[in-house]
Amino acid sequence: MAKKMRSILIWVIVILVVFFVGFSVKRSAPVKSAPVPPKLADAPARVYGAVEPLGGAVYVAAQVPRSVARIAAREGDTVRAGQTLAVLESSVEEAKVNAAFDRATAAEKAYAISREAYDRAAGLFAAKGISEQEFRQALLKAGLDSANYGAAMADAELARAQLEQLTLKAPVDGIVYKLDLRLGQTLAAGDDSKITIGSPRQQARMFVESFWLGRLKMGDSYKVVNSETGRELGTGRVASLSPYVGGRTVRTDDANERFDAEYQVVVLELDTAGLPLGLNVIAEIPAPAK
């Protein structure tokens, strides 16, 4: 009996010691609080975008499919609005113009003759030298020849306008960023991927995710870097903020990039020039001061 009581006492002492040690450890351990997620509004922002000419690029396309007969400009050239960039093959259109103006010339001569005849008939009719029917016939002939001449001139001008479409001209002042043409190459109608013109000054069209709205302010300047190499390219000043949010149109190499989010378009006017169009860049927006 005494032996059994000693065993029970030992077990009670062991349990009390274990409980005391566990309680002491728990009391001495630091209290861990739940992690607080960082506030994105207070964190630095990295905004992605792409380089383009200031005011946007202007693309030149052929209106009809034709081969390239002459190239009149090169990439990097400064051009004026209306300056010829390239001429497409136009032998058919030139023949149509010549034929149309030949017809217009013939119609003009015919009208001159009928007009002279009408003037003579008008004088004779006033002097009662011819009948009213003869006078009206002269009037009708002059009217028909006048209408034919007008129609012939309209056809000739249309043929000339169609010929002029085969001369690709700069629509604005600027520099030729891209002129990817070769002699004899056939251009598809509406293909605007071959010729690009724009201002020598440049901008970056950036896309600001919705949770960073309001971080960029008009007139503020930010550092701009190459998104692939991290090389600093200069600074960009906020020139415009779109009044709407929408989908993203520029892809980057960021693995965490989201295309299901809404973005605001922000244009940064760059203080540098000569960057390749379409170059992906990052604007580094520091955390707001506290």
Residues β-bridged to residue 222 = 236
pLDDT tens string 62-93: 999 999 999 999 999 999 999 999 999 999 99
Asked if the structure places residue 34 within a domain, the reply is: no
> Are 69 and 184 within one domain?
yes
> Are 71 and 186 within one domain?
yes
Q: CATH number of the domain that 171 lies in?
A: 2.40.50.100
- Check pLDDT > 70 for residue 58: yes
Mean pLDDT along residues 132-148: 93
Rounded CA-CA distance 224/241 in Å is 17
The predicted pLDDT at position 66 comes to: 93
Residue 75 gets which letter from DSSP?
T
Q: Which residue has the tokens 């000419």?
A: 53
> Are 63 and 156 within one domain?
no
Mean pLDDT along residues 131-160: 94
> Are 154 and 258 within one domain?
no
CA 221 remoteness from chain centre: 23
Tell which wins on pLDDT, 257 or 183: 183
DSSP strands (E only) in the chain: 45-53, 58-60, 66-71, 78-79, 84-88, 167-169, 174-179, 186-187, 195-198, 201-209, 221-226, 232-246, 263-273, 280-285
Query: Percentage of the chain with pLDDT > 70?
Result: 80
Tell which wins on pLDDT, 250 or 128: 128
> Are 152 and 105 within one domain?
yes
Asked if the structure places residue 254 within a domain, the reply is: yes
Asked if the structure places residue 245 within a domain, the reply is: yes
Exposed, middle or buried, 72 (CB in 10 Å: 0-12/13-18/19+)?
middle
> Are 266 and 206 within one domain?
yes
Tally the domains of the chain. Answer: 3
> Are 182 and 160 within one domain?
no
pLDDT tens string 244-279: 888 765 555 555 555 567 889 999 999 998 999 999
Asked if the structure places residue 175 within a domain, the reply is: yes
Q: Which residue has the tokens 């929408």?
A: 246
- Check pLDDT > 90 for residue 201: yes
Q: How confident is the model at residue 183 (pLDDT cuts 50, 70, 90)?
A: very high
Asked if the structure places residue 224 within a domain, the reply is: yes
pLDDT tens string 4-45: 566 665 655 656 555 555 556 555 555 555 555 556 556 678
The predicted pLDDT at position 8 comes to: 61
pLDDT tens string 203-219: 999 998 887 888 888 99
> Are 192 and 132 within one domain?
no
Boundaries of domain holding 186: 58-89+166-196
Asked if the structure places residue 15 within a domain, the reply is: no
> Are 71 and 108 within one domain?
no
Asked if the structure places residue 14 within a domain, the reply is: no
For residue 258, CA distances in Å to 59, 207, 242 come to 29, 11, 19
The predicted pLDDT at position 241 comes to: 93
